[in-house]
Amino acid sequence: MAVPVIGVLALQGDVREHVAALAAAGADARPVRRPAELDAVDGLVIPGGESTTISKLVDIFEMREPIDKRIAGGMPVYGSCAGMIMLAAEVLDGRADQRGFAGIEMTVRRNAFGRQVDSFEAPVEIDGVAGEPFHAVFIRAPWVERVGAGVEVIGTVTGGPATDRIVAVRQGNLLATSFHPELTGDPRVHAYFVDLVRAAA
């Protein structure tokens, strides 16, 4: 597959930034809001935003079952920040009525690093991403408290008060980070996902 088609779930959050980052990494990137649009993509990004709002909008736009089916069928999905929460099997400090896709066998804590005013940047070394540590931006970010046997921890914070917190994981074709690579101008995480989508095709 020369140019994979990757959708960005465009219900809420930083959609344009992900579309631009995916395009810079060599993908045909497009917003996805409807089941028919989901059918046309090889992979999907669930962007940062507000996980409880995304959870409600997924139902309003009738996207839950189609996304569940594509995940079960092996479609690569990357979730950043709120997207990580949407991919988690268990969410701590979430609302009782919020439901995700439970694709990755992990427990995440919502808003673990604090509120908006506690946003910060820190270096993260990511397995499979060559070069210097990734300069990660954390905004009301979750962290991973537990991973199952099938989950690979690929990134932890390497400096500051959050040192050693798990902030990037992969399980099969599913990738999740608690930070926002689309805000950095560094395309390496998106390139990693584009390669994952190519390999899965």
For CA atoms 27, 85, 81, 105, the dihedral sign is negative
Per-residue pLDDT reduced to its tens digit, 134-147: 999 998 889 899 99
Annotation marks residue 81 as catalytic: yes
pLDDT at position 3 is 93
Question: What mean pLDDT do residues 54-68 have?
Answer: 96
Per-residue pLDDT reduced to its tens digit, 116-140: 546 788 899 999 999 999 999 998 8
pLDDT at 27 over 60: yes
pLDDT at 112 over 90: no
pLDDT at 169 over 60: yes
Q: What is the model's pTM?
A: 0.94
Question: What mean pLDDT do residues 38-53 have?
Answer: 94
Greater model confidence, 155 or 115: 155
Identity of the amino acid at 41: V
Annotation marks residue 18 as catalytic: no
- Residue of 18, 81, 125, 152 with catalytic role: 81
* Residue 38 CB contacts under 8 Å (≥ 6 apart), including other chains: 7, 32, 44, 63, 66, 67, 70
Residue 182 near residue 14, CB atoms below 8 Å = yes
DSSP, res 133? P
Greater model confidence, 113 or 24: 24
- Residue of 50, 105, 125, 180 with catalytic role: 180
Per-residue pLDDT reduced to its tens digit, 78-106: 999 999 999 999 999 877 777 899 999 99
What phi and psi values does residue 59 have, to the nearest 5 degrees? -75, -45
| b/e 35-69 (16+ beta carbons within 10 angstroms → b) | eebbeebbbbbbbbbbbbebbbbbeebebeebbee
For residues 136 and 109, what is the distance between their CA atoms, to the nearest angstrom? 18
How would residue 161 be classed by pLDDT, with cut points 50, 70 and 90?
A: confident
Greater model confidence, 96 or 107: 107
Residue 16 near residue 9, CB atoms below 8 Å = no
pLDDT at position 49 is 87
Q: Which two tokens stand for residue 140?
A: 């009301």
Average per-residue pLDDT for the chain? 92
Question: What mean pLDDT do residues 34-39 have?
Answer: 97
pLDDT at position 118 is 60
